[in-house]
Structure 1
Amino acid sequence: MGEPVRVSIVAQDPILEAGTRASLQCHGDIAVALSGERAQVAVMMVDRVAPQVMHAVRAGREADQRQEVVLVATELAAGDAVQAFAAGIRGLLRRSECTAERLASTVVAAAAGDCTLPPDLLDGLLEHGQGADARRPGADGVPAPGGSALSERERAVLRLVADGRETEEIARELCYSPRTVTTVVHDVTRRFHLRNRAHAVAFALRAGLL
């Protein structure tokens, strides 16, 4: 086991902050950062994905590009995933679905550079930006999704990504190396001009490839 992921917690409600701190401290892969200590991941507890929240996220990432952000919101609308990932957020969770284990796994995934969000919000990523471009033939001649296919290995990896599994878990389940899993996801995102893991899963679901 390597060094634990250092996490800071931002919440207006001190009771909510204390509860979140206690749940994360019980996880062996996570250490809650002390005041003034740099954190690799910031967990923000908010009511909704409001403009002022996105402004705070962008300001924080400009101040420290190495810090990732996991956002836990009471309310999440259909288009919130687009705003959140555009602002640089790595993890997006509903408070009602945020168990201690799910939050911890999202934090660890964010520290590793992976994206996590509720499955029902994946489609929203395809309604914006490169999602529309991915439906057209790319510069390298890749056909539109209707005429494209994923290999069995790519499907297997993306199914587990869609289930919220981390790279190491996927590698163990499929008997691949973590490097192979990373390469598979990278190949899919590059081939279809997608932005990240979450976008790749949304693309595959929407195109009927999974």
Structure 2
Amino acid sequence: MDTRPGSRTSVEILASDPVLRAGVESALRLCAQVTTDGPPAVTVIAVDTIDERTLRLVRETDRRGVLLVATSVDAAGTLRAIEAGVNGVLRRAEADAEGLAAAVLAVADGHGSMPPDLLGEVMARLGRLDANLSHRRSAPVLDDREKAVLLMVADGHETVEIAKALAYSPRTVTGIVHDITHRLRLRNRAHAVAFALREGLI
């Protein structure tokens, strides 16, 4: 994401009905850092529930980041959304101008997010899914700098904050996270953090 002063993050909005779309557009118009003009960096998908139609839409969305705003969100739906390629999940009740803008900017910066109260249950479900796989992967290993970066991601720190704390460049931090997700065949940062916590890697 372009973080220069005055830069704006462009989004496209996909919605299951006109009312949802209007609500998202209205909230985003109140944020000076977000625009619906220009090539989109983030796709915001607004739906009532996370169903098969929603997941199909996510899989067909060829964008750098996808933020899913849903009226009804639970751990099972959040897990399915992350596995489909979603970078962030936000409850519609929390999608006011401030919450929506923060989620869009986090996704544009490569961060994943989900409702905090669902994190534990999502990780537990990931564990049960992996336990049922007949062909488990070899035990993954993270080096010290990968662990340090993922721990800070898990604590909710932004790329710039992580870089400053660990004396890396922001590009190095982004590269480390990309290497982890690519090597372990994970979808995004949220999936990487959940996987690492569940496996006891951090």
Q: Same fold (TM over 0.5)?
A: yes
Q: Does residue 107 of the first structure (1) align with residue 108 of the second (2)? A: no
Query: Following superposition of structure 1 onto structure 2, how do residues 74-113 of structure 1 map, counting pairs within 5 Å?
Result: 74-113=71-110
Aligned pair partner of 1:182 in 158, 174, 178: 174
Query: Following superposition of structure 1 onto structure 2, how do residues 1-210 of structure 1 map, counting pairs within 5 Å?
Result: 1=4, 3-11=7-15, 12=17, 14=19, 17-33=21-37, 38-59=39-60, 61=61, 65-66=62-63, 68-119=65-116, 120-121=118-119, 122-123=122-123, 124-128=125-129, 136-137=137-138, 144=139, 151=144, 153-189=145-181, 192-210=184-202
Aligned length: 193
* Separation (CA, whole Å) in 2 of partners of 1:80 and 1:162: 21
* Separation (CA, whole Å) in 2 of partners of 1:178 and 1:201: 18
CA contact (8 A) 1:47 1:73 kept: yes
One-letter code of the match for 2:54? V
CA contact (8 A) 2:109 2:159 kept: no
Percent identical: 45
One-letter code of the match for 2:198? R
* Separation (CA, whole Å) in 2 of partners of 1:150 and 1:136: 18
Q: TM-score, normalised by structure 1?
A: 0.70
Aligned-residue Cα RMSD (Å) equals: 3.4
* Separation (CA, whole Å) in 2 of partners of 1:189 and 1:134: 19
* Separation (CA, whole Å) in 1 of partners of 2:197 and 2:83: 21
1:148-201 C-alpha deviation (Å, 9 max, x unpaired):
5652x4343223312333322322344421122123323444555544322221
Q: TM-score, normalised by structure 2?
A: 0.72
User: What is the SS of the residue equivalent to 1:79?
Assistant: helix
Alpha-carbon deviation of 1:24?
2.1
1:1-21 C-alpha deviation (Å, 9 max, x unpaired):
26422123344253x544433
User: Structure 1 stretch 189-198 or stretch 50-59: which is displaced more?
Assistant: 189-198
Q: Do the aligned partners of residues 133 and 176 (structure 1) sit closer, same or farther apart at CA in structure 2, a change above 3 Å counting?
A: farther
Higher relative contact order (CA 8 A, sep 6+): 2
* Separation (CA, whole Å) in 2 of partners of 1:180 and 1:38: 26
Structure 2: which 5+ runs fail to align? Answer: none
Structure 1: which 5+ runs fail to align? Answer: 138-143
One-letter code of the match for 2:88? G
